[in-house]
């Protein structure tokens, strides 16, 4: 098992990619702190993992609130003794064309997707730097390259790329790697409401002609969290079925 006895904090782990990552990490031997604002989803995932014999706990966390993020990291360390992996997966969208985009929707998306990623990474680095080891995996998106009706989302995910590269430079001296995963269209709750005709258009633009499964993103998370990826840092890896090749 690639992650035997490692301790991982995964945000947005109550559903979708975060849930798939928590399940994959447990299969690889990790102990997992499931973080989410959705109490029902987060508790469900943690309890199901515990029922399988895994060491897991749920911590309700608003990643935009520094005190809650610090509590999350402290709870994980108190429960499991250390922190080896952070997966910054929590994210939201509030889509609208820029001319009609409400200021509060701009603020909300930047707060969760970019500020939340920073706050979690900052808190994790305090522990990882003292250990002289760690893996931070951030979540960007194909949307970082630009997308109609997603000025706020694109800006937040492009910001994650810049943040990732900067953190990689700063954390390298502590033997902490920082990378970003940029998924394309993925079968999650965020995409579940897409009208069928729109879905057909999206899939038609993807060279592999399908959306990703959350488990496929989780597989990359597991690799980047493992010793096999020890010399990879500051990178952004697109998992998008080839659509970014055309950009």
Q: Please name the residue that has the structure tokens 């953190």.
A: 167
Judge whether 182 and 162 are in contact, CB under 8 Å. no
CA distances from 128 to 63, 68, 123, 177 (A): 19, 18, 9, 10
Distances (CA, A) of 165 to 45, 97, 173, 228, 237: 31, 29, 14, 20, 12
Cα separations in angstroms, 190 against 20, 21, 71, 94, 185 = 15, 16, 27, 10, 10
Which stretches does DSSP call E strand in 51-98? 56-60, 85-87
Q: Which residues pair with 8 in a beta bridge?
A: 32, 85
**What is the CB neighbour count within 10 angstroms for residue 107?**
14
In angstroms, the CA 160 to CA 31 distance is 26
Tokens of 28: 């690889």
DSSP assignment letter at 150: B
Catalytic residue among 153, 176, 184, 233: 153
Q: Is 231 a catalytic residue?
A: no
Could you tell me the strand order of the sheet in which 236-239 lies? 56-60, 31-36, 7-11, 85-87, 134-139, 176-183, 236-239
- Tokens representing 238? 């697109």
Catalytic residue annotation: 153
């Amino acid at each position: 098992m690639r992650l035997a006895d490692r301790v991982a904090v995964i945000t947005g782990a109550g559903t979708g990619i975060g849930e798939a990552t928590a399940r994959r990490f447990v299969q690889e031997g990790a102990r997992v702190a499931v973080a989410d604002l959705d109490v029902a989803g987060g508790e469900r995932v943690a309890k199901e993992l515990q029922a399988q014999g895994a060491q897991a706990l749920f911590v309700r966390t608003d990643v935009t609130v520094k005190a809650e993020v610090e509590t999350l990291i402290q709870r994980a360390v108190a429960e499991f003794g250390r922190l080896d992996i952070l997966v910054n997966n929590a994210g939201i969208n509030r889509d609208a064309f820029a001319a009609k985009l409400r200021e509060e929707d701009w603020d909300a998306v930047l707060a969760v997707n970019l500020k939340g990623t920073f706050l979690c990474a900052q808190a994790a680095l305090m522990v990882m730097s003292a250990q002289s080891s760690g893996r931070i995996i951030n979540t960007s998106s194909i949307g970082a390259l630009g997308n109609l009706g997603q000025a706020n989302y694109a800006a937040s995910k492009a910001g994650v790329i810049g943040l990732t590269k900067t953190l990689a430079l700063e954390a390298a001296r502590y033997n902490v790697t920082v990378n970003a995963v940029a998924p394309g269209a993925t079968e999650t709750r965020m995409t579940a409401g897409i009208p069928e005709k729109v879905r057909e258009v999206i899939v038609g633009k993807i060279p592999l002609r399908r959306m990703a499964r959350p488990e496929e993103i989780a597989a990359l998370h597991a690799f980047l969290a493992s010793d096999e990826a020890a010399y990879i840092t500051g990178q952004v890896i697109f998992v998008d079925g080839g659509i970014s090749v055309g950009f």
